[in-house]
């Protein structure tokens, strides 16, 4: 993709270097569409930028050319907008997570990337968007990635053992009876040991059992619970441990809470909503 930026609509308002402006960004995989509005909500301009380091630099320089930029509303700060969010925060821009406009607003105003970008900025200006964007780095992000890998491995393991047991339902009676009542580890070892090389329905059933059993066995050493590392969890859960009345929680609950606040203490709501997780 070319590194050239592209204007998506004409300017609606003249620029004033001393004026406070707000940035809104509609994020995508390859191109971000940005809009700049004044403190009174007037549209200044919209433009698209590539999702590269140079594109982020151009986006910020373009937005700052309209005035004093201190706040930005960005959609999808945990996915497509994560890298841009980190860049803006490193440049001392307060990034607020902006949700996509609701269906009623889209019906009234239409649906384009430029309109969505302007809506993100207006949501910050009006106070509808107040959630501080997560930093998506540091120990909390490390825990999230390890937890995602573990969850995927556990799901694959469950699918393999369920497939193994499903084969037994319609397998030959002798084969089914020989494996009835076995625990999962014993069933896996038995399926691997009895895997034959000849043909036939019963042999095919045994072969089908051996395939998920081998996957189940191979998956076990590949998903250690890295997210349970004491030092990593202690560092990530620091803000939670300092909350009044905190009495500790299970490891998985602590990881979920750390992922929710994303190293931003301002995201910790004092209301008793955390009781759901504890």
In this model, does residue 32 exceed pLDDT 90? yes
Whether 122 and 140 share a structural domain: no
Q: How far apart are CA 270 and CA 74, in angstroms?
A: 25
Whether 31 and 146 share a structural domain: no
Whether 122 and 149 share a structural domain: no
Backbone dihedral angles phi then psi of residue 134, each to the nearest 5 degrees: -70, 155
Question: Which CATH number does the domain housing residue 66 bear?
Answer: 3.30.420.140
Whether 141 and 239 share a structural domain: yes
Whether 156 and 194 share a structural domain: yes
Instruction: Output the CA torsion sign for 76, 82, 87, 89.
Output: positive
Inside any domain, residue 1: no
What was the pLDDT predicted at 65?
Answer: 93
In this model, does residue 76 exceed pLDDT 80? yes
Whether 35 and 120 share a structural domain: yes
What was the pLDDT predicted at 75?
Answer: 93
Sheet holding 6-9, edge to edge: 6-9, 43-50, 31-38, 20-26, 68-74, 94-97
Whether 142 and 266 share a structural domain: yes
The pLDDT tens digits of the residues spanning 119-162 come to 999 999 999 988 888 777 777 777 778 888 888 888 888 888 88
Whether 99 and 201 share a structural domain: no
Inside any domain, residue 202: yes
Last residue of a domain, one of 96, 126, 156: 126
The pLDDT tens digits of the residues spanning 159-210 come to 888 888 888 888 778 878 888 888 888 887 877 776 555 445 555 555 565 5
Whether 180 and 98 share a structural domain: no
Last residue of a domain, one of 63, 95, 126: 126
Which residues constitute the domain of residue 270?
134-278
What was the pLDDT predicted at 227?
Answer: 46
Q: What is the pTM for the complete model shown? A: 0.60
Last residue of a domain, one of 79, 107, 126: 126
Whether 199 and 98 share a structural domain: no
Whether 112 and 146 share a structural domain: no
Inside any domain, residue 159: yes
Q: How far apart are CA 225 and CA 227, in angstroms?
A: 5
């Amino acid at each position: 993709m070319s590194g050239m930026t592209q204007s998506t609509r004409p300017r609606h308002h003249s620029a004033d270097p001393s004026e406070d402006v707000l940035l809104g960004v509609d994020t995508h995989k390859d191109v971000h569409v940005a809009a700049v509005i004044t403190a009174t909500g007037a549209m200044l301009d919209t433009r698209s930028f590539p999702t590269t380091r140079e594109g982020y630099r151009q986006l910020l320089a373009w937005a700052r050319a309209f005035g004093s930029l201190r706040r930005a509303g960005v959609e999808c700060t945990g996915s497509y907008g994560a890298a841009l969010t980190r860049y803006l925060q490193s440049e001392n821009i307060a990034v607020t997570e902006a949700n996509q406009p609701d269906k009623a607003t889209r019906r009234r105003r239409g649906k384009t990337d430029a309109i969505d970008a302007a809506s993100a900025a207006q949501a910050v200006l009006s106070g509808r968007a107040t959630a501080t964007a997560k930093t998506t780095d540091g120990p909390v992000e490390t825990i999230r990635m390890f937890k995602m890998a573990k969850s995927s491995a556990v799901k694959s393991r469950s699918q393999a053992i369920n497939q193994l047991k499903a084969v037994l339902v319609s397998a030959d009676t002798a084969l089914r009876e020989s494996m009835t009542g076995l625990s999962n580890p014993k069933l896996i070892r038995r399926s691997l040991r009895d895997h034959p090389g000849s043909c036939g329905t019963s042999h095919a059933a045994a072969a089908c059992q051996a395939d998920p059993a081998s996957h189940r066995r191979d998956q076990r050493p590949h998903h250690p619970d890295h997210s349970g590392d004491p030092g990593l969890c202690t560092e990530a859960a620091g803000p939670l441990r300092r909350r009044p009345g905190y009495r500790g929680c299970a490891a998985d609950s602590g990881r979920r809470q750390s992922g929710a606040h994303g190293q931003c203490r301002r995201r910790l709501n004092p209301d008793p909503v955390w009781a759901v997780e504890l």
